[in-house]
């Protein structure tokens, strides 16, 4: 089974200066994971040609990603340089995309606003790019493909990024999805993570399609609470929620039998992905 690998590159000084939280990376990671695509890394860099080029190289060469999604740097300001940086990295001309220009022009003209250089800038893309319509704001996204990878460039404003993703990207990526996932969360109260760990470690060993993780929410020694996360992946033909349910019930049984005073909140319910 070929599993596609994806890296998310978030671009913007406001991110590396810690003035905003990178919710775009978690949104995109979640969507890609639910499509059965493995997200291998996030990379965040500032608005700098060299650093964007490094990030693309890391994603494509070091992590061997088939899909690279960038966010940020598509706007009208002097430091919005993502499109040009991608064009340079690919050795492509950076030119006006006619479809993108039509979209930008229409949006400004419908408000009686002229096309200035800063506005036209948002229609510049690598020569082979396919423009992606922005249903929320102005700056269009785009997609450039090679034989073994696709780079998808989206704006940094979350609502615009999500709008383009849902309209133009996810329908395209769905056809490459060849894996199904099911997952569940269940809360365990009264046992330290370090106690649960021994039983979980032993149970999960050798089960390559099963991922189990405890997320501590309380205090390890004073009132421990852990959210147990279980994810099971299978090929397209199998229903992963059955195996997920089996894993969850087996593990809860083992923990209940062995860990004194353990309280399990709720029961095993596995949700299938998209």
Q: 68-107: which residues touch a copy of itself (CB under 8 A)?
A: 75-79, 107
- Beta strand residue intervals within 170-259, DSSP E: 179-189, 210-216, 225-235
Nearer to a copy of itself by C-beta: 41 or 92?
41
Q: 231-250: which residues touch a copy of itself (CB under 8 A)?
A: 231
- Residue 27 within binding range of a copy of itself, rule CB under 8 A: yes
Nearer to a copy of itself by C-beta: 92 or 185?
185
Distance (Å) of CA 260 to CA 121, 187, 199, 250: 64, 16, 13, 17
Nearer to a copy of itself by C-beta: 46 or 176?
46
Nearer to a copy of itself by C-beta: 55 or 151?
55
d(CA 74, CA 121): 9
d(CA 195, CA 188): 12
Q: 201-220: which residues touch a copy of itself (CB under 8 A)?
A: 201, 204, 211, 213-216, 219-220
d(CA 54, CA 44): 11
d(CA 254, CA 247): 11
- Residue 271 within binding range of a copy of itself, rule CB under 8 A: no
User: Pairing between strand 38-45 and 94-96?
Assistant: unpaired
Nearer to a copy of itself by C-beta: 78 or 147?
78
Given the structure tokens 């399990």, which residue do they identify?
Answer: 264
Contact yes or no for 49/57 (Cβ under 8 A): no
- Residue 5 within binding range of a copy of itself, rule CB under 8 A: no
- Residue 221 within binding range of a copy of itself, rule CB under 8 A: yes
Contact yes or no for 226/217 (Cβ under 8 A): yes
Of 45-53, 93-101, 123-131, 252-260, which part binds a copy of itself (CB under 8 A)?
Answer: 45-53
As beta bridge partners, residue 154 has 71
Compute φ and ψ for 184, nearest 5 degrees.
-155, 150
Residue from the set 108, 130, 187, 190 that interacts with a copy of itself by CB under 8 A? 108
Rounded to a whole number of angstroms, the minimum distance from the CB of residue 243 to a copy of itself is 18
Number of residues that bind a copy of itself (CB under 8 A): 73
- Residue 261 within binding range of a copy of itself, rule CB under 8 A: no
Rounded to a whole number of angstroms, the minimum distance from the CB of residue 262 to a copy of itself is 15
Of 66-74, 125-133, 193-201, 261-269, which part binds a copy of itself (CB under 8 A)?
Answer: 193-201
Q: 121-180: which residues touch a copy of itself (CB under 8 A)?
A: 122, 137-138, 157
Residue from the set 2, 147, 208, 222 that interacts with a copy of itself by CB under 8 A? 222
List the one residue out of 81, 77, 123 whose CA is nearest residue 103.
Answer: 123
Contact yes or no for 245/167 (Cβ under 8 A): no
Rounded to a whole number of angstroms, the minimum distance from the CB of residue 63 to a copy of itself is 7
């Amino acid at each position: 089974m070929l599993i596609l690998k994806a890296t998310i590159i978030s671009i913007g000084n406001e991110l590396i200066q810690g003035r905003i939280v990178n919710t775009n990376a978690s949104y995109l990671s979640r969507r890609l994971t639910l499509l059965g695509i493995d997200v291998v890394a996030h990379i965040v860099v500032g608005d700098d040609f060299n650093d964007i080029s490094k990030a693309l190289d890391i994603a494509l060469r070091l992590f061997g990603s088939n899909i690279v999604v960038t966010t940020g740097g598509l706007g009208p300001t002097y430091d919005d340089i993502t499109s040009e940086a991608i064009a340079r990295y690919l050795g492509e001309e950076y030119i006006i995309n006619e479809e993108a220009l039509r979209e930008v022009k229409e949006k400004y003209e419908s408000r009686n606003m002229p096309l200035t250089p800063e506005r036209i800038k948002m229609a510049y893309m690598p020569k082979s790019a396919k423009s992606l319509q922005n249903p929320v704001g102005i700056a269009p996204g785009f997609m450039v493909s090679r034989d073994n990878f696709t780079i998808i460039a989206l704006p940094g404003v979350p609502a615009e990024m999500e709008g383009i993703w849902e309209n133009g990207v996810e329908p395209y990526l769905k056809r490459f999805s060849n894996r199904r996932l099911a997952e569940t969360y269940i809360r365990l109260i009264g046992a330290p993570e370090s106690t649960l760990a021994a039983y979980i470690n032993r149970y999960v060993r050798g089960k390559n399609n099963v991922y189990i993780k405890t997320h501590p929410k309380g205090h390890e020694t004073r009132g421990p609470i852990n959210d147990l996360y279980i994810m099971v992946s299978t090929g397209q033909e199998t229903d992963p929620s059955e195996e997920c349910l089996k894993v969850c019930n087996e593990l809860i049984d083992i923990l209940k039998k062995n860990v004194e005073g353990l309280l399990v909140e709720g029961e095993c319910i596995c949700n299938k992905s998209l």
